[in-house]
A and B are shown apart, each in its own frame.
Chain A
Amino acid sequence: MNGLSLRLDCPGENDFRLQLDCQLPGTGITAIYGPSGSGKSTLLDCVAGLRQAAAGSLVSFRGKRWLAPDALVPPWQRRVAYVFQDARLFPHLNVQQNLDFAASRRADDNGASMPQVISALALEDLLQREPAGLSAGQKQRVAIARALLSAPQLLLLDEPVANLDHAAAHQCLACLQQLARQLDLPMLYVSHDIEEVSQLADHLVLLEQGRLVDRGPLLDLCGRLDTRLSREEQAAAIVLGTVLRHDPEYGLTELEVEGEILLVGQQQAPGQSRRLRIPARDVSVCRQRPLDSSILNILPVTLTQLEADGEARVMLRLALGAQYLLARITRKSASRLQLQVGDRLFAQIKSAALLMESADQHE
């Protein structure tokens, strides 16, 4: 009961209806993922109270009822801050005044302090600037700072980095991740970009045409074959590893994943726990460990599941210790190798992207 419980029936434009009934966690970052028009923003609007849901809808957070047949808490009393895709800074106020707008209306002093937020989002040099003169990335950082300064109980983010260039987006995401941990502030993060989601999210909610189709811990959902994610072209498993050391001679970093060593091309400080995103199309399998392959990362795995993926391809779910890899191979290869569930195989990993430092618990 300390999370967010939703029972929503919310009409939108052109026959669209958001209809779902679920409990979302009250901690960490929950990503709402789905294609455009799947109802992601409608969901956030209903949580914020900016959109009217049909009678019978329920919204409650940490046991407090925000929307019920006999209760309606207006948006300004929900203590939910909302960061939109467009920063929506107040044009008549400069950056400092935009921040003050939020800080002066906060309900209590438990949230982040002004100096803390200004430094976390690197706004020191922008405080006296007018919003009109800021870049998209700067505006969005101000918008995030402003949201945090209202001392929210829940932070809603609607594709906050969709309009930013790669570097600005990366900076924003890193700030968000750090803040989520420091402030212990639950966030609902709407995105249609699975890479963003893989960086940030602890939990994942998959929406499709206004319905919730799946939800669960991100690492778990990404490593399954029965979700919509595994059918996407960019399907990828996410595994956790610990940075062991950097090899300066070849410019590679060694990570330990389930007792195995994985090499990646980015330099990282040892000891960190890291998420690795391994695209299914960059994983192939063989029965014997290849001795003369150019591929460095070859890990012993067990085939646990095999699913047809279109006419020509199959998806494999490969257990690596307690974690899973996905591999997309041709149906012809699967048949030639006579792959069976339970087979011991070697996964050749052509690429693995190291994601931002993660707070995941290694179980």
Chain B
Amino acid sequence: MSAAELDAIYLTIALATITTVLLLLLGTPLAWWLSRQKANWSALVEALVAMPLILPPTVLGFYLLLLFAPDTALGSAWERLTGTRLAFSFSALVIGSVVYSLPFVVQPLQAAFQRVPQNLLNVAATLGAGPFDQFRSVVLPLTRRSFVTAASLGFAHTVGEFGVVLMIGGNIPGETQVLSIALYDYVESLQFAEAHRLAGGLVVFSLVLLFLLYRRDRQESWRVQA
């Protein structure tokens, strides 16, 4: 395997890991809020979260690219704070991936949170548990499995990202050239043996991950009961 390929693998794993951690940190409160929200307008937030599921990644990438440009508020603030450019950087990829993979983390968490009966939280409250305590000691243990699902899906989806990365990251080896882009390069330059190696590896990785997730869902018969 070439150094460029190893770079791409490392970059992809780093991107997916950082993105997944950020998504869990941001997605958990968002999913909790959505799961307890009854107001109609929260459906708008839900729709926004789900947008990356149906939008072509290039649409998302296009708008993010405009947003990251040095002359925008975000782009210039970033430059002032970090001294580097946001566009075509690894940080830009992280931000793009967080937006792009958001529904894959928020949706399973939201569904799991909605299955936690309010009854149990009321009991916890009357036993002296405040909101954070209720979340930590009742909600988290009851939804632990969905966190694994959400993290796996977020990770896998980020690994499989292409359009957004192409639009906002460019194709800088060691900085923004992730696996899917490297694969694209190989195909463009008709290096099919190398392309096979990367494509096959991604297929196997995705298959194994999904197989493990679904097998666990079959084996476990966790029941949330009131």
Known A91-B224, A132-B223; contact A106-B142, beta-carbon cutoff 8 A: no
Chain A, residues 87-111, CB within 8 Å of chain B (1/0): the string is: 0101111000000011001110000
Which residues in A have their C-beta under 8 angstroms from that of B138? 90, 92
Measured in the bound complex, the distance between the Cα atoms of B137 and A102 in whole Å is 12
B2 at the interface (CB under 8 A from A): no
Measured in the bound complex, the distance between the Cα atoms of B128 and A81 in whole Å is 9
Residue in chain B with minimal CB distance to A150: B127
A73 shortest CB reach to chain B, Å:
12
Known A50-B122, A90-B120, A92-B141; contact A81-B127, beta-carbon cutoff 8 A: yes
B129 at the interface (CB under 8 A from A): yes
Which residues in B have their C-beta under 8 angstroms from that of A131? 225
Measured in the bound complex, the distance between the Cα atoms of B119 and A157 in whole Å is 15
Measured in the bound complex, the distance between the Cα atoms of B130 and A105 in whole Å is 10
A76 at the interface (CB under 8 A from B): yes
Measured in the bound complex, the distance between the Cα atoms of B142 and A90 in whole Å is 9
Known A82-B122, A101-B137; contact A92-B128, beta-carbon cutoff 8 A: no
Interfacial residues of chain B within 130-170, with CB under 8 A of chain A in the complex: 130, 133, 137-138, 141-142
A102 touches B119 (CB 8 A): no
Measured in the bound complex, the distance between the Cα atoms of B224 and A91 in whole Å is 6
Measured in the bound complex, the distance between the Cα atoms of B124 and A156 in whole Å is 14
Measured in the bound complex, the distance between the Cα atoms of B131 and A49 in whole Å is 14
Chain A, residues 248-265, CB within 8 Å of chain B (1/0): the string is: 000000000000000000
A82 touches B130 (CB 8 A): no
Given B117, B127, B141, B225, which contacts A132 in the complex, CB threshold below 8 Å?
Answer: B225
B119 touches A84 (CB 8 A): yes
Measured in the bound complex, the distance between the Cα atoms of B223 and A88 in whole Å is 14
A84 shortest CB reach to chain B, Å:
7
A-B contact pairs, 7 of them (CB 8 A): A75-B126, A88-B120, A92-B141, A105-B129, A131-B225, A147-B127, A150-B127
| Interfacial residues, chain A to chain B (CB-CB below 8 A) | 48-50, 74-82, 84, 86, 88, 90-93, 101-102, 105-107, 131-132, 146-147, 150, 156
| Interfacial residues, chain B to chain A (CB-CB below 8 A) | 117, 119-120, 122-130, 133, 137-138, 141-142, 223-226
